[in-house]
């Protein structure tokens, strides 16, 4: 799924952003302190002659509508070969501080985003990451059900768009058999370092499985 000379773009909200610093020269700082940097580090270390290029354009606080507004500049004009998207927790508003984006609206905007991407970049390979949440701190119980519904939408859209799916809610459900939710995420939304590691490993497994199938 990742080929020599590929340009890989990570998109999403603060989980993807992870305090990235695009103005820095070092790619470690450009990619932030999260799963995007971990994925890039592993692939770049394993494949030093493949000319792989990684970009992180995650923006903290984004929901699906915010992502759609900046998609032309932050995705289509970059012309990536692989686009990875993790979006949805801000649409759910798991602490109920703001109204959630209705599920049908989330699905409609997400579908339109994927259609725009396929139209502009016909050969692009898409990777859709399930949004997830853990029951920690201010995260409400209802948010688990809401994010499960959004995950189902992502899987449905991925099937229609011929995209790979990274099953993150399942990943963290399994991780709870090893340690508490607080161990993986300090607030139920943003992963700790070990949580980002689990995301990165799931992302790489998904890509490896896609390569095997392809």
Stretch 131-143: mean pLDDT: 94
pLDDT in tens, 145-171: 999 999 999 999 999 999 999 999 999
Residue 20 contacts residue 30 (beta carbons within 8 Å): yes
pLDDT exceeds 80 at position 13: yes
| Distance in angstroms (rounded) separating the CA atoms of residues 200 and 80 | 19
| CATH of span 7-213 | 3.40.50.1110
Does residue 214 have a pLDDT over 80? no
Chain centre distance of CA 107: 16
Alpha-carbon separation of residue 112 from 49, 185, 205 (angstroms): 36, 31, 27
């Amino acid at each position: 799924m990742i080929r020599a000379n590929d340009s890989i773009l990570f998109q999403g909200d603060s989980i993807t952003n992870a305090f990235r610093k695009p103005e820095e020269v070092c790619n470690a700082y450009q990619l932030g302190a999260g799963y995007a940097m971990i994925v890039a580090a592993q692939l770049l270390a394993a494949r030093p002659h493949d000319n792989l290029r990684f970009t992180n354009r995650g923006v903290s606080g984004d929901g699906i509508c915010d992502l759609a507004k900046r998609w032309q500049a932050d995705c289509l004009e970059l012309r990536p070969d692989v686009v990875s998207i993790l979006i949805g927790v801000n649409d759910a508003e798991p602490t109920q501080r703001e109204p959630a984006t209705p599920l049908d609206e989330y699905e409609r905007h997400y579908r339109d985003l994927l259609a725009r991407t396929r139209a502009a970049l016909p050969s692009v390979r898409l990777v859709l990451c399930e949004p997830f949440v853990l029951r920690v701190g201010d995260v409400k119980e209802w948010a688990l059900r809401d994010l499960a519904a959004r995950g189902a939408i992502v899987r449905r859209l991925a099937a229609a768009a011929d995209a790979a799916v990274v099953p993150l809610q399942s990943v963290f459900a399994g991780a709870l058999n090893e340690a508490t939710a607080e161990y993986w995420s300090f607030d139920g939304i943003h992963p700790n370092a070990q949580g980002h590691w689990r995301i990165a490993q799931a992302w790489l497994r998904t890509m490896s499985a896609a390569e095997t199938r392809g």
